[in-house]
Amino acid sequence: MAGTETEGYVLSPEEWELIAQLLEQKQRELLSEIRHTDKRTFREALRERLEQVESLLRHIPAAT
């Protein structure tokens, strides 16, 4: 069901702000973990997750 849009549920600006804060926290954690990881394959997996988090952050509507 990937790619389908859910209809009928709209997030409030406060909910979007919370999601943004949580994603930014995860972004910082991933950056730190990437710096401290010695295993190349694990570091690559962390970078992929970081890309996903950053992509989600780009899709969050700006606060009004």
Determine the Cα–Cα distance for residues 20 and 4; give it in Å rounded to an integer.
Answer: 22
pLDDT digits (tens, 9 = 90+) for 50-62: 999 999 999 998 7
3-state secondary structure of 38: coil
Please tell me the predicted confidence (pLDDT) of residue 18. 96
* Alpha helices, H only, the chain: 13-35, 40-59
Determine the Cα–Cα distance for residues 43 and 41; give it in Å rounded to an integer.
Answer: 5
**pTM of this structure:** 0.79
Joined together, the tokens standing for residue 40 give: 């190349």
